[in-house]
């Protein structure tokens, strides 16, 4: 994989899975850098896709990391970053969006499809209007019997709906990387360090494969 992404400037956006040094922001960022890309990563706790569209606040913290630097994280109420300011600042060739769980409506009777589609469509449109390629990363399995109510059937429904909604972004189906229960969680939703290591490598490998297949311009 070494050098496979050379020349790319990659902007990574994520939710709480990217908002802590022990989470995805470390292994995914490392793997993309190891493949030759210049990477800028941002994570915001509880962020659905629309959290990146306009300036607001996140109540449980955010994190960022740039190139070979360390993760800086703050676990208190902070302003959000917006996609417009990040596109202007970094001029990425590729934007990777890890956003799913905050839109899954876990514990509610129905998946909020119109709400999901509208914000996903708007964020994807902002990215592609900047002439950047876009890859959207779907959810991983969690634990139903937890405060997050992350039932396997809803996770699969969410992943399927996202796969149909994120165009013109390419879609990474994270459910292909593990079986239900294979990656342990710490709280029903967030993975252990080993799980994040594997997920990060799997996402990076998927991006490299898309690049080699000419699916990223």
Number of domains in the chain: 1
The number of C-alpha atoms within 13 Å of 197 and in the hemisphere containing its C-beta is 4
Residue 108 lies in a domain: yes
Sign of CA dihedral 164, 123, 199, 188: negative
* CATH number, residue 53: 3.40.50.1110
Q: Identify the band that residue 84 occupies on the pLDDT scale cut at 50, 70 and 90.
A: very high
Q: Identify the band that residue 20 occupies on the pLDDT scale cut at 50, 70 and 90.
A: very high
Residue 159 lies in a domain: yes
CB 103 within 8 A of CB 119: yes
Global pTM exceeds 0.85: yes
Residue 1 lies in a domain: no
Residue 2 lies in a domain: no
Residue 63 lies in a domain: yes
Alpha-carbon 11 to chain mean position: 11
Q: Identify the band that residue 78 occupies on the pLDDT scale cut at 50, 70 and 90.
A: confident
Domain range spanning residue 96? 9-212
């Amino acid at each position: 994989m070494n050098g496979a992404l050379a020349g790319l400037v990659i902007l990574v956006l994520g939710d709480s899975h990217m908002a802590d040094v022990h989470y995805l922001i470390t292994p995914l960022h490392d793997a993309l850098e190891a493949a030759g890309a210049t990477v800028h990563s941002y994570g915001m706790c509880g962020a659905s896709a629309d959290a990146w569209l306009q300036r607001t606040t996140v109540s449980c913290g955010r994190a960022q990391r740039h190139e070979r630097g360390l993760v800086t994280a703050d676990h208190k109420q902070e302003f959000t970053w917006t996609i417009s300011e990040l596109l202007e600042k970094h001029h990425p060739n590729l934007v990777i969006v890890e956003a799913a769980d905050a839109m899954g409506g876990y514990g509610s009777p129905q998946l909020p499809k119109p709400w999901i589609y509208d914000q996903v469509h708007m964020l994807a449109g902002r990215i592609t209007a900047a002439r950047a390629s876009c890859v959207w990363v779907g959810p991983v399995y969690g634990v139903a019997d937890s405060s997050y109510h992350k039932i396997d059937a809803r996770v699969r429904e969410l992943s399927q709906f996202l796969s149909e909604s994120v165009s013109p972004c390419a879609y990474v189906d994270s459910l292909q990387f593990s079986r239900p229960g294979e990656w342990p969680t710490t709280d029903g939703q967030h993975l252990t360090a080993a799980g994040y290591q594997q997920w990060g490598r799997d996402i990076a490998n998927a991006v490299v494969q898309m690049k080699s297949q000419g699916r990223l311009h």
